[in-house]
């Protein structure tokens, strides 16, 4: 398991522990962004968890605001 995979697994364990359905990925040039997809009603709780997620070695915690939306909305 790579370091990125281990950090994703750790984030997903945090989300599961807190009862927040969602997913995580590592992004950014240096792998310093934790990119999360959670339900909109979970945002406040996720904000409380951000310090714990950053402690895994991330500089930023980013949230997908429209989970499940197409990657390109251009028509």
User: Which two tokens mark 66?
Assistant: 């429209």
Residues in the chain: 75
70, pLDDT greater than 80 = no
Q: What residue segments make up the domains of the chain, in order of their start? A: 3-63
User: Which two tokens mark 22?
Assistant: 């969602």
Could you report the per-residue pLDDT of 4-41, keeping only the tens digit for each?
A: 789 989 998 999 999 888 888 887 777 899 999 888 88
Q: What is the pLDDT of residue 17?
A: 93
Q: Which residue has the tokens 């009862």?
A: 19
The stretch 43-66 carries a mean pLDDT of: 91
Phi, psi of 47 (to 5 degrees): -60, -35
């Amino acid at each position: 398991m790579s370091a990125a995979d281990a950090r994703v697994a750790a984030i997903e364990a945090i989300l599961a522990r807190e009862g927040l359905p969602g997913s995580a990925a590592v992004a950014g040039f240096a792998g310093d962004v934790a990119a999360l997809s959670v339900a909109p009603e979970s945002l406040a709780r996720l904000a409380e968890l951000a310090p714990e997620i950053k402690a895994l070695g991330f500089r930023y915690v980013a949230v997908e605001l429209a989970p499940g939306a197409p990657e390109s909305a251009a028509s």
